[in-house]
Amino acid sequence: MEKVLQNLIVALRGSGVRISVSESMDAMNAACLTGYSDRKLLKDSLSATLAKSQHEKEIFDTCFERFFSLDGFSDTKSDSCLKPAAGLGKEDSPLSTMLLSGDNAGLSMSMREAAQETGINGIWFFTQKSLYIQRILQAMGQEGLIQDIQRLNNEDSPFSRQKAGTLKAAKDLLFENVRDFVEQQFSMFAGTATEEIIERYLRHMKLSNLEQRDFHRMHIIIQKMVKRLNNLHSRRRKRSKRGLLDIKKTLRESVAYQGLLFDTRWKAKRLDRMDIMALCDVSRSVEAVSRFMLLFLYSLNEVVAKTSSFIFCSNLVEVSNVFEEYQVEEAVVRLKRGVGLGIQLGRTDYGQAFLDFKKKWLDAVSNKTTVLILGDARNNYGNPQTDILKLINERSKRIIWLNPEPRSFWGTGDSEMDRYLPYCYLAKECSTVTHLERAIDFLLGMGG
């Protein structure tokens, strides 16, 4: 039974539940305590020891049900199988005997044993399925069965021909059952393995090359990333501010030393959470990446409390409310189309966008604000209004520019990146999720 529990734990890990060694030991102890006779009780106790959050509980429930589902050997055509039960011959192989006598429990057992032998829990890719089916069939003694069928076909009597036919039907049925079993095991053990590979691949892919079908997956990756980064940085760290004595605390400490100010205590100041203003270019030149930039902004909006988001093309509009009101997919589509936002999707005009920003929102920029600009700085040879960027730089804590183009392209053609560069605290190429992650890690690490 221990082996079964271990397999369950492997399956759970595969589905994304993190289980440590000590937890699996707890689970074994719990199972020993409660016994295996009461299914519901076993489930409750394993759930208490293995799944440690509400989300994990849900995964556990489905995984447990699937793992311990009573998948007896199903035989849809049982009648035809069972009829010649009397015709068991001495020379029949064990597998044929079981098939002929309709010993479903025995077949199920033997299939599971065979699966254990072939190491089914190592299945990773869907391409391995047929390999495992063959291996299991072999381990169950398929060869003997085939030989039996051949021998019976050669024996030229109506009885043996009928028996051969039955065996053949039973063999097909056996194949189906094993296939279902492997399918089920695959979904249990390999589901996330494949997912992980795709994910790893997507992380390093250029955002502009991503396709529609990966959109949903990308969203999950970005959300995961933002959540992880936020977890990492959301802790409010105290930074001690030397030079200001905390009189109250020091006096209290000094009681132990007869009132001598022996152990001095200093005032600590909490670092403020960050305040971000993000400007995102949605023009045609960055069309391919803008959707992911928006996706990213959406996630940022969810986890960082003080974020205001703007999009611009020929002019600039605030869109924070769109992020709050709509679900992610709808919000991104709305922003890309610019429905009812008053945005003009004409020629990209960074100059105008900065002018708009100066007119309406510059007052909101304080020395705690980080201004984040996502765009390629291609201004169609218009006035770049660098002095406004300079002004923003002076008022804000810092400007961070994430450009989807590689650095060698900056300043070529109508790109004004070189002129904007002096006012940016940090300017980075940002064309894959990994880039995005690094930039944001940096951003959050600075405490906003």
Partner 1 sequence: MKSHHDQKFRSIEGIQQGFEKAGYVCSRQIAATLYLAYHLEKPILVEGPAGVGKTELAKTASTYLGTPLIRLQCYEGLDESKALYEWKYGKQLLYTQILKDKLNDILNGAEGLTLSMSKLHQYDDIFFSPHFLEPRPLLKALQQEQGAVLLVDEVDKSDQEFEAFLLEILSEFQVSVPEIGTIHALSKPFVFLTSNNTREMSEALKRRCLYLYIPFPDTKLEGDIIRVRVPDLSETLRVQMVSFIQQVRTLDLKKVPSISETIDWARVLVILHSRDLNPDMIKDTLNIFLKFEDDLEIVRGHIHDMTEKAKRGF
Kindly list the residues in this chain that would bind partner 1 in the complex (CB under 8 A). Answer: 18, 20, 22-23, 26, 29-30, 33-34, 40-41, 44-45, 47-49, 51-54, 57, 231, 234-235, 255-256, 258
Q: Residue for token digits 């007119």?
A: 359
Residue whose CB is less far from partner 1, 33 or 70: 33
| CB of 182 vs partner 1, minimal distance in Å | 33
| CB of 256 vs partner 1, minimal distance in Å | 5
| CB of 437 vs partner 1, minimal distance in Å | 20
| CB of 328 vs partner 1, minimal distance in Å | 20
Answer whether 224's CB lies under 8 Å from 195's CB. no
DSSP string spanning 87-140? G--TT--HHHHHHHHT-HHHHHHHHHHHHHHHTGGG--SGGGHHHHHHHHHHHT
| CB of 64 vs partner 1, minimal distance in Å | 13
Residue whose CB is less far from partner 1, 252 or 407: 252
Q: Distance (Å, rounded) from C-alpha 348 to C-alpha 353?
A: 9
| CB of 192 vs partner 1, minimal distance in Å | 18
Answer whether 265's CB lies under 8 Å from 250's CB. yes
Which residues neighbour 416 within 8 Å (Cβ) at sequence distance 6 or greater?
Answer: 350, 377, 378, 379, 384, 386
- Classified as helix, coil or strand, 238 is strand
Tokens of 373: 């600009």
Q: Pick the closest to residue 350 from 404, 294, 389, 398 (CA basis).
A: 389
Q: Pick the closest to residue 171 from 72, 84, 75, 70 (CA basis).
A: 75
Residue at 254: amino acid letter: S
Residue whose CB is less far from partner 1, 82 or 251: 251
Distances (CA, A) of 430 to 368, 437, 440: 24, 9, 11
| CB of 45 vs partner 1, minimal distance in Å | 5
Residue whose CB is less far from partner 1, 57 or 83: 57
Query: How far is residue 104 CA from its own chain's centroid?
Result: 40
Which residues neighbour 431 within 8 Å (Cβ) at sequence distance 6 or greater?
Answer: 206, 207, 208, 289, 404, 405, 406
Residue whose CB is less far from partner 1, 60 or 73: 60
Residue at 334: amino acid letter: R
Beta carbons within 10 angstroms of residue 216's beta carbon: 11
Residue whose CB is less far from partner 1, 15 or 393: 15
| CB of 223 vs partner 1, minimal distance in Å | 15
| CB of 273 vs partner 1, minimal distance in Å | 14
Q: Pick the closest to residue 46 from 62, 63, 26 (CA basis).
A: 26
Residue whose CB is less far from partner 1, 86 or 255: 255
Residue whose CB is less far from partner 1, 258 or 408: 258
Residue whose CB is less far from partner 1, 157 or 258: 258
